[in-house]
Structure 1
Amino acid sequence: MPDSVISSTPAWDPSSRSPIATPDLVGPNIQLGQQLVTQPSRVVHPLLDLRLVGKQFRVVANGGNFKEKEIAVVIALISGQPSIRFNRYKTSETILPEWVSLKHPNPKRDNGLLVVVQGEHCGKHVRCIHHRYQDEQLKMVVAIVNMMEGTADRLTGSVLKSSLVRFFTSKRGNWQLQPV
């Protein structure tokens, strides 16, 4: 029996209602008699979420061979657990989560493609459609989009407000959203 069980789900239909949020928990499955019980453990790093597997991000690494170096990482599934991987030439190595810090953009200038990394909309792509100051804080409004290679992003009609988000960069230099 595998160490962990990961169910696959069909692609999200943008015309459907938003899916119900699942807890941001990862952990090994333990078999007790005939029942399969999941032992939850809190996600230690915002990028270590199963919904982000395959996504690429730009981060600042500080540890090992890295000293405050901006690098591109990908979230990969290793032995059933998400890990932060760095591609160096033709090899890939794991980067410890404590070495990785997120990059934060200037929302007034950086309006590229975003990825939600925590919460109900984790893993979804969004684009900034408006920003303004309210009570001396910068607020952004973003729209959820369906992103496909070689085609323009398609708006789903869902809109999120950034009073609940922080930002950091992806591999392509685009900014990511992280709800707080």
Structure 2
Amino acid sequence: MSNIFNIQGSRPLHTDKYFVDTNVWFWFTYCASKEINTPSRPRRYQVEKYPEFIEKALDAGAKLFHCPLVFSELANVIERTEYDIYASGGNNQNVSRKGFRKLEAERSKVIQEIKIAWSTVNSVSTCLNINLSQKIIPPALAYLESAPLDSYDAFYLQVMSSEGITKLITDDRDFTVAGVESLYTASR
């Protein structure tokens, strides 16, 4: 079972090393500059509390980490959000997500948002190299069997374990049963 810390009362130290979950990066980079009015929009505490904690950690000199898989997940979440915004417009509901990708102006906007978000992630955190080989599948599968995680989260736990990172900033309570030593969250 994880030690759970509320980010509102936590004070990061310069010696702290945190792996940052994708949704936190999403709220810190993409949502910080947008008003999103879709059914899957973030909650106010997510777009306020997590960016505040990231800033506190950076101000304290703590180290933040991500891995290349975050790019895939973050790009997908941004594209899905842009699609949802587009589809919520009156006559756009009949356009599929694949069809949306073919709309040049919309695609350009999505790519620009992804580039900005990824640039921001890389400017404030260190990318951990990950060797996606058959060797990391059994440990990831073990994480999937032991907790209600998705495959990205299972790989993130594997990366954290291999790098000796014990602190995770996330809104996802599923990690509490996955063996993360210290979970930093604003989740209610």
TM over 0.5: no
Q: Greater relative contact order: 1 or 2 (C-alpha under 8 angstroms, separation 6 or more)?
A: 2
Q: TM-score range by the shorter chain?
A: under 0.3
TM-score normalised to structure 2 length: 0.22
Which structure features the higher share of helix residues?
Answer: 2
TM-score normalised to structure 1 length: 0.22
Which structure features the higher share of strand residues?
Answer: 1
